[in-house]
Amino acid sequence: MPGATPDVDGNDDPADDGVRIDMISGARMEGLTSMEKIRLILDGVRDGNIVILEEGLSPDEESKLIEVTMTEISPDDFTGIEIETYPKPESGNQSFLDKLMGRESTQKLTVIGPANRIETLHKDENLISTLVSRK
């Protein structure tokens, strides 16, 4: 990484000392195409990071995320993703007009990480508790 400061152990990869979490705002995702969003997520996760999306993905994008993830799984390298969401109350109350106009409500906090580093301990509509392990 250009400009990175080497660690005390001489290793210049900060991810070796901890877990990097990328929290991506809804505004950052808003201007991206579906594939750009999926690329942004998977590039981060494949680097070992935890990605938190403020507003989540649409069902169609989730479907594509699973599909692209499957194509990138490789033995001893990348085993896939762990993903958890909880819906905000309004996401279940989409009006008929919104559906008709294609205005999908996707507002749901979403946590995505490498399958071999993140484990869900508990999940309900108000709490997602995950254990993140170091490499």
The residues of the shown chain that bind another protein, judged by CB under 8 A, are 58-60, 62-64, 66-67, 69-71, 73, 75, 79-85, 104, 115-116, 120, 123
Q: How far is the CB of 7 from another protein (least distance, A)?
A: 30
Q: Is-contact 41 112, C-beta < 8 A?
A: yes
CB atoms within 10 A of CB 37: 20
CB atoms within 10 A of CB 65: 20
CA dist 38 and 64 (Å) reads 8
Using CA atoms of 47, 49, 50, 53 in order, give the dihedral in degrees to the nearest 10.
-70
Considering the complex, state which of residue 24 and residue 105 has its C-beta at the smaller distance from another protein: 105
Q: How far is the CB of 22 from another protein (least distance, A)?
A: 18
Considering the complex, state which of residue 27 and residue 131 has its C-beta at the smaller distance from another protein: 131
Considering the complex, state which of residue 24 and residue 81 has its C-beta at the smaller distance from another protein: 81
Q: How far is the CB of 134 from another protein (least distance, A)?
A: 18
Considering the complex, state which of residue 54 and residue 62 has its C-beta at the smaller distance from another protein: 62
Q: Is-contact 111 50, C-beta < 8 A?
A: yes
